[in-house]
Amino acid sequence: MKNKEIFKEKDRKGQGGVEYVVLFTFTVAFFLIVVYVANEQLNIINKQQKLEQTKLAVKEIADAATQVYQQGAGARKIVNVVFPEGVSGDGIIINNSIHVIFEGTDIVYPLNFPISGSIPTSPGSHDISFVSYGSSVSIGVAEFSVSPSSISFSTCSNSSEQILTQTLTVENKMNTTNQINASVTWSNPGSTLSLSENNFTLNVSETKNVNVYLNVSPNTVGQFNGNIEFLSSGYSFIVPIYLNSQACGGISSNVSYILVETYNDSAYTIPTSSYSMSFLVNITTTGWLPNSNITLDLKDQGGTSMPGYPKLVQTDGSGVYSETWVPNGYSNYTVIANYSIYNVNYSFTVEPC
């Protein structure tokens, strides 16, 4: 009887051990299932985040292309775009649409104007260049960068030559050395535009300062423009250059007095001591892109442009341009401001008080 009780006690202990093993195994299996499911959910969330990052990068490319297209021929922009892990193959442009593949999913962004070029889509950061040719936009890898992207000189006309200077910074964006060649064009033959260096080599990530010299001839008055083109083996960057030289007055002389004689006829035969003050018109345009060139025209009621118009003017850093005009007489006039695809006009009347 006593032996039977011993055997029963052993059976109960053995059964308890088996139950413990089964429970432990079930717990471990359940834990592994939970970990697996949680990991799968994290992978799904992570993949979705990367997919959204890829879509955002493609949209940034499309937005930059649209912006330079709207600005018109010659507009240029460089945008830094970051692609996440999972992007594969080369970004391609088909039928004016941007295509980027992320883990087998083709992300497409169509545009309503012609585009050409290629898009680097390896994971990481890329500087992508956008250049407008008026009716189309070219997209490609920026082999180097130049800043600032444009230079505007403003000065008063002088009786002696002036030398205006500015500095451009060129940075190599390639993983190899980059040979850069620069050339200049300038619209005013009486002045010269030159660089401190026209040819140089940049090592990986190296930057170089290039001095720009504008020699303004004596008594130069007007608005002039030109550009500097930096060129490597497969990429170019054009920097527009603007000069606004005004007759500001205040020139020193040895004259101790000035005699002013006034007449009331155009033949200057009838002296007079009184005359009517001239009337002035202030022309101000706002809402344009900062530091952009717009075409300003001023026409009379017969549609004839006033002397000196149309002309190219440059807006300031706030997109504003303003000038004062002396009317030729009493009439109805129309101001027309044009920039790329944008055209604005406003009519006004000059009449006696």
Ordered by start, the domain boundaries in the chain are: 2-142, 147-246, 281-350
Among 12-26, 37-51, 98-112, name the most confident range: 98-112
For residue 30, is pLDDT > 80? no
For residue 167, is pLDDT > 80? yes
DSSP code string of 255-316: --------BSSTTS-SB-S--PPPP-EEEEE-SSPTT-EEEEEEEETTSPBPTT-SEEEE--
Same fold, 147-246 and 281-350: yes
State mean pLDDT over 52-78: 87
pLDDT-derived band at 78 (thresholds 50, 70, 90) equals: confident
pTM of this structure: 0.46
The DSSP element (H or E) to which 54 belongs, if any, is: helix 2-71
φ/ψ of residue 204, rounded to 5: -60, 125
pLDDT-derived band at 251 (thresholds 50, 70, 90) equals: very low
Candidates 3.60.110.10, 2.60.40.2310, 3.10.129.10, 3.30.1330.120; CATH matching 147-246: 2.60.40.2310
Q: According to the model, what pLDDT value does residue 199 have?
A: 94
- pLDDT higher at 261 or 48: 48
Q: According to the model, what pLDDT value does residue 194 have?
A: 93
For residue 287, is pLDDT > 50? yes
- pLDDT higher at 301 or 31: 301
Nearest to 121 by CA among 91, 142, 97, 98: 91
Q: What is the CATH number of domain 281-350?
A: 2.60.40
pLDDT-derived band at 38 (thresholds 50, 70, 90) equals: low
For residue 324, is pLDDT > 60? yes
State mean pLDDT over 16-36: 66
Strands of 103-231 (E only): list them.
105-110, 115-117, 124-132, 137-141, 144-147, 151-156, 162-172, 178-186, 192-195, 199-202, 207-216, 222-231
Q: According to the model, what pLDDT value does residue 202 have?
A: 93
Among 49-53, 82-86, 182-186, name the most confident range: 182-186
Q: Across the chain, what does the average pLDDT equal?
A: 78
